[in-house]
Chains A and B, each alone.
Chain A
Amino acid sequence: MQDERKHGCPWFKGRRTFLGAALAAVAIFNAPALYAQQGVTSNEIVIGALGPLTGPFAFIGAPGRDGMALAIDKINEAGGLNGRKLKLVFEHANTPAESVAAAKKLVEESKVFALVLASGSTGAAAAADYVRAAKIPTYNIFGATPIIRTPFAKNIFHSAIPGAEASGKSMIDEVFRAVPNAKKIGVLAGTYAFPQSHLKAIREQLATRPGVEVVVEQFDAASREFTAQLLSFSRQKVEAVMVLGSFTEAGFAIKQAPEKGLPASMTWVLDASGVNDAIVAIVGGENTKHLHGYYNIPYFPTQVNDAPMAGFRKLWIAKHGNPPEGRPNLYDMVGYGATYVLGQAIKNAGPNLTWDSLIASWEKLSEAKPSALGGFDVIYPETFSATDRQGGRRLGSAMIVDGKWKVVR
């Protein structure tokens, strides 16, 4: 020991050696902070996503994937984020069990840095517990379910599809915009999950309006016959009807309404599932004047005369070819826009990218939109805070113009 003191530590024999050792130590101790986070290397960030690519809900997951891929291509072409390129790993998941398995695989085997839930409410609800426990930064871009929203989780953010409270409020606003002094409102709700959560939110909000009476009638999924429900609305002389269900269910109810004594001028307010151009063929073009709805993004996919939509569509066709009927749809656009919002959060987190730094940067995003990184603004800007993870709250007001839905406000 004495000898060591006299001669110094063999590692620190000279100034040059000391400097070299110090630099090595800095490199060693800084390396984990720079690259130890899973899914992040010096030149790449791996984003995992899951959603249904086949089956009845493929209209959600496949467009979600395609929209995300479109945004990632453009971000990478522009040089990536802080020098790193994005890489997308997408897992097919249809059922709740597949959604949990896909989330686990992406986090534990593929070691992705952030997870995007590009499934509907069912997949998001199924994966909720796992992503909460895993603490991985997660972006729920399509699920409206309250299960992914409550209890609050610091690592879970939500995109353009808000919870039932916000969309329910939007529908109520549409009713009172069309019939300002409505005192009796009909609600025609499907008996399945999403319409029921919507119904609960709408009932609670209407209960706070003095003098407004609500008449609720329900129907099973895929119903086509609404005699009893419409007669009830007719008997109780409702002034407007909100339909919580698909466009086919809403379409057949509206088509049958005049036969059951409801006036042709009745105001109908549809939820986002009903806001689909195919409803026009069901109800007949002449019966669409009093149809209202809300939409989660500022443009309906067919509004190709508006600049952002025209640009987005051109981009979509360049990558995916001529679109089949119904594409690109809402989920293409939300997938695209949400990826830019995530990109903005990653960029703001700086080069020292960890889950904590991403979450910290994400919750500070204000009015984040694709154009900030050179994309097309096909979603409403998203704002987050330390206590609020719902980025998109705004909903557009939609009507049918010349046989096609259009976001008018």
Chain B
Amino acid sequence: MSELLMVIIGGLASGAVYSLVAIGIVVIHKATKTVNFAHGGFVLLGAFAAYLVVVKLQWTYWAAYLIVPVLIGGLATGVELAILRPLRKADLFTVITATIFIGIGLSEIYRLSYNTEILAMPKPIAGAPFFFGDVILTRGQLWVAAGALTAGFVGLLVFSHATIGRSMRAMASNVRGATLCGYSVDRVYAIAWFVGGALAGLAGVFAGPSKGISPDLAVAMITAGFVAAVIGGFDSLRGALLGGLLLGLAETFAAAYVSSAMKSAISFLLLFVVLLWRPDGLFSEAKVRDV
């Protein structure tokens, strides 16, 4: 029983970071209809920025949690403004290709500026773990799971209830209608990229200490984030949140009770099952009407 609980805790801690990445991907997709393959690159730069703040500048993690999302959000807005805005009228293939290569470019920025195999970060919270019988719960796990999930919920609430969220929802629903209602496409797209980028940066701050910082991080995060978003439903923030948790749990359960060599395979199997069974995802917000 204690082992089962520890498997669940481990799965939730991984899944919470996946959720945060997936929410960022979905926010950008919902508001701008852009599938952002550069998201992993933003996560990597978020982790790298956190490293600079915490290790190089010797500031606290709190500074990283506050500064990095703003920095990466600003970077994402800049990318939208400089590269994707001119491509707005291009076909989907062109835009997707652009985001793929933006992602590679972002990873290269890291590689060129810090040519080392991996950067390690200290734990965000020091102190002895909590023991509940045989169950061990570390402060780091608790912090990452709770922090990433809280950030995800905040992102979800902003999109669902805040004024800036309303503009993004309007754009997601109908671009022409939203424009006629006075919403600026440029402004809403910039906001969406800022929010998506900020969430990616925050995911990087949470992921850095547990996963280390290397170009692999971008690939690992974009893969997990996309799988989580597809499982949850690519148009559903709630789905992205739950999809990330489900993916984290599935990976850990598969490794623990099926085969440790099957960890990745099981998560992709889950993806294909969901795509075949419910192509819109498990928690899709799309409404189907019989006409």
A-side residues, CB < 8 A to B, are 191, 217-220, 222-225, 227-229, 231-232, 234-235, 248, 251-252, 258-261, 278, 281-282, 324-326
Contacts and interface: CB of A to CB of B under 8 A. Distances in A.
A129 B112 CA distance: 38
Contacts of A234: 3
A115 to B, nearest CB: 30
A259 B128 CA distance: 10
B14 A225 contact: yes
B260 A218 contact: yes
Interface in B6-34: 6-7, 10-11, 14
Contact of B120 (A223, A260, A282): A282
A266 B139 CA distance: 22
Contacts of B251: 225
Contacts of B216: 222
B6 A282 contact: no
Interface string B117-141: 1111000000001000010101011
Interface in B161-219: 210-212, 214, 216
Nearest to B211: A224
Given A227-B252, A235-B3, A259-B141, A217 B260 contact: yes
Contact of B118 (A191, A232, A248, A260): A248
B259 interface: yes
Nearest to A188: B260
Contacts of A191: 261
Contacts of B118: 248, 278, 282
Contacts of A225: 10, 14, 210-211, 251-252
Contacts of A252: 210-212
B220 A278 contact: no
B134 A228 contact: no
A228 B252 contact: yes
Given A220-B264, A224-B211, A278-B118, A259 B256 contact: no
B221 to A, nearest CB: 11
B260 A227 contact: no
Contact of A218 (B11, B252, B261): B261
B80 to A, nearest CB: 30
Nearest to A325: B116
Contacts of B10: 225, 227-228, 231, 260
B259 A227 contact: no
Nearest to A252: B212
A51 to B, nearest CB: 19
B214 A248 contact: yes
A291 B122 CA distance: 20
Nearest to B210: A224
A23 B268 CA distance: 78
A228 B120 contact: no
Contacts of A224: 210-212, 220
A229 B220 contact: no
A260 B211 contact: no
B255 A228 contact: yes
A260 B251 CA distance: 17
Contact of A282 (B115, B212, B220, B252): B212
B255 A229 contact: yes
A179 B236 CA distance: 53
B263 interface: yes
A380 to B, nearest CB: 26
Contacts of A232: 256, 260
Contacts of B210: 224-225, 252
Nearest to B140: A259
- A-B complex: 4 closest residue pairs judged by Cβ atoms: A227-B10, A228-B255, A228-B256, A218-B261
Contacts of A231: 3, 6-7, 10, 256
Interface in B256-279: 256-257, 259-261, 263-264
A259 B117 contact: no
B264 to A, nearest CB: 5
A234 B134 CA distance: 11
A229 B212 contact: no
A219 B255 CA distance: 9
Most central of A225, A228, A259 by chain B CB within 10 Å = A228
Contacts of A227: 6-7, 10-11, 14, 252, 255-256
Nearest to A219: B260
B196 to A, nearest CB: 24
Most central of A223, A227, A231, A258 by chain B CB within 10 Å = A227
A347 to B, nearest CB: 39
A350 B216 CA distance: 51
A14 to B, nearest CB: 77
Contacts of B119: 281
B260 A259 contact: no
A218 B256 CA distance: 11
Given A227-B255, A260-B6, 20 more contacts: A219-B260, A222-B220, A223-B263, A224-B220, A225-B251, A225-B252, A227-B11, A227-B14, A228-B7, A228-B10, A228-B253, A229-B260, A231-B6, A232-B260, A235-B3, A248-B212, A261-B136, A278-B116, A278-B117, A282-B120
B247 to A, nearest CB: 12
Contact of B136 (A223, A259, A278): A259
Nearest to A218: B261
A259 B255 contact: no
Interface string B32-63: 00000000000000000000000000000000
